[in-house]
């Protein structure tokens, strides 16, 4: 009248008790346990594993990882070892038990250490951190990033990079010449011709345009001007370093070339020759 129900023995499951529990092992007490003694066998014959154990027979122990079909552990980030219980991938940090994800680091980093494995200390000058995540200066003293001492370009702790040449290269021994040119040859300096005499007065008539007037003002301000009539300018020892005077000399050379100035307008004759020579030198440099 009623239906019979099978009462299965310890290691068997199913309606007919024909499903054997997997992972049967002999215990220390010489008893038999299913699921590698790390879980329980359900009514359907499938193991329900204890914490950290994985696999169809609960034989794969992965503390911080997953068991693959081959029965070995695939560890989460920062963990290693056969059972994923060695925190060896976090540098100066400590591992967490979180499962890996695209947005979650597996390492808890101290201080200024950053990165998935706590190996990035770029917040500190020259990337020098101690184990606690403090910046360390070139003198070995820890401190905040803007307080620790650093090496200069010459390898001197807290130095002034005095070995750096004008080209920015340490120990290049290149320096600025007198013209402000890196590793230059001082070719910006005008070598005074032998026939030039600072005491000679140069008389120039008929040059009353605005451009020349600005050069006149520059020369006068430097004490190199001698007053003349409204139609005549007299110069003694012009300040050749003044850009305005250099421009004036170029304009004068061009004016002489274009107009064929008479000797009476530019005295003495040697003056015209000297102006041309200085103008050519300016254009070449």
Closest CA to 60 of 46, 72, 75: 72
Would the pLDDT of 209 be above 60? no
- The full set of domain ranges for the chain reads 12-61, 151-184, 202-284
Would the pLDDT of 100 be above 50? no
Would the pLDDT of 281 be above 70? no
Q: pLDDT higher for 124 or 222?
A: 124
Instruction: Record the tokens describing residue 73, joined without a space.
Output: 């552990």
Q: pLDDT higher for 239 or 73?
A: 73
What mean pLDDT is predicted for residues 264-279? 49
In 199-281, DSSP assigns E strands to 202-205, 225-226, 232-235, 266-267
Residues 6 or more apart in contact with residue 196 via CB below 8 angstroms: 274
Helix (H, G, I), strand (E, B) or coil at 249: helix
Q: pLDDT-derived band of residue 265, with 50, 70 and 90 as boundaries?
A: very low
- The reported pLDDT for the residue numbered 196 is 38
Q: pLDDT higher for 219 or 113?
A: 113
- The reported pLDDT for the residue numbered 86 is 82
- The reported pLDDT for the residue numbered 227 is 42
Q: pLDDT higher for 5 or 222?
A: 5
To the question of pTM greater than 0.85 for the whole model, the response is no
Q: pLDDT-derived band of residue 67, with 50, 70 and 90 as boundaries?
A: confident
- The reported pLDDT for the residue numbered 257 is 60
Q: pLDDT higher for 221 or 87?
A: 87
Would the pLDDT of 144 be above 60? yes
Would the pLDDT of 273 be above 60? no
- The reported pLDDT for the residue numbered 142 is 93
CB of 107 within 8 A of CB of 78? Answer: yes
User: In whole angstroms, what is the distance from residue 81 CA to residue 83 CA?
Assistant: 5
Tell me the pLDDT tens digit for each residue of 104-132.
556 788 999 988 778 889 999 888 999 89
CB of 217 within 8 A of CB of 225? Answer: no
- The reported pLDDT for the residue numbered 150 is 92
Q: How many residues in total does the chain contain?
A: 285
Using only C-alpha atoms, the chain has a radius of gyration, in whole angstroms, of 46
- The reported pLDDT for the residue numbered 241 is 60
Query: Percentage of residues in the chain with pLDDT exceeding 90?
Result: 9
- The reported pLDDT for the residue numbered 124 is 92
Across all residues in the chain, what is the average pLDDT? Answer: 71
Tell me the pLDDT tens digit for each residue of 12-55.
888 788 888 888 888 777 778 889 888 899 888 889 988 878 88
Helix (H, G, I), strand (E, B) or coil at 246: helix
Residues 6 or more apart in contact with residue 62 via CB below 8 angstroms: 52, 54, 73, 74, 75, 83, 84
In the chain, DSSP assigns E strands to 12-13, 19-20, 25-26, 32-33, 39-41, 47-49, 53-54, 60-61, 65-67, 73-75, 79-80, 86-87, 94-95, 107-108, 135-136, 142-143, 202-205, 225-226, 232-235, 266-267
Helix (H, G, I), strand (E, B) or coil at 3: coil
Give the relative orientation of helices 210-221 and 243-259 as an angle to the nearest 10 degrees. Answer: 140
């Amino acid at each position: 009248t009623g239906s019979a129900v099978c009462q299965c023995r310890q290691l068997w499951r199913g309606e007919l008790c024909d499903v054997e529990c997997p992972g049967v092992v002999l215990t220390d007490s010489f008893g038999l346990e299913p699921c590698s003694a790390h879980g329980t066998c359900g009514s359907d014959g499938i193991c329900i594993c204890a914490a950290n154990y994985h696999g169809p027979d609960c034989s794969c122990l992965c503390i911080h990882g997953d068991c693959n079909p081959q029965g070995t552990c695939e560890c989460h980030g920062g963990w290693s070892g056969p059972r994923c219980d060695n925190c060896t991938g976090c540098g100066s940090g400590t591992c967490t038990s979180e499962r890996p994800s695209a947005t979650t680091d597996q390492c808890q980093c101290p201080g200024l250490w950053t990165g998935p494995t706590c190996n990035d200390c770029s917040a500190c000058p020259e990337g020098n951190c101690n184990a606690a995540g403090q910046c360390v200066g070139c003198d070995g003293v820890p401190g905040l990033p803007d307080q620790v001492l650093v090496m200069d370009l010459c390898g001197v702790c807290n130095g002034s990079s005095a070995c750096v040449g004008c080209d920015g290269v340490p120990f290049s021994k290149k320096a600025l010449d007198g013209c402000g040119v890196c590793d230059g040859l001082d070719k910006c300096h005008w070598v005074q011709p032998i026939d030039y005499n600072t005491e000679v007065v140069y008389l120039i008539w008929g040059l009353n345009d605005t451009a020349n007037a600005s050069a006149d003002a520059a020369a006068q301000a430097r004490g190199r001007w001698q007053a003349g009539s409204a139609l005549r300018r007299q110069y003694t020892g012009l300040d050749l370093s003044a850009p305005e005077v250099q421009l004036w000399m170029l304009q004068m050379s061009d004016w002489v070339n274009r107009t064929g100035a008479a000797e009476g307008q530019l005295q003495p004759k040697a003056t015209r020759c000297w102006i041309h020579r200085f103008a050519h030198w300016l254009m070449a440099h």
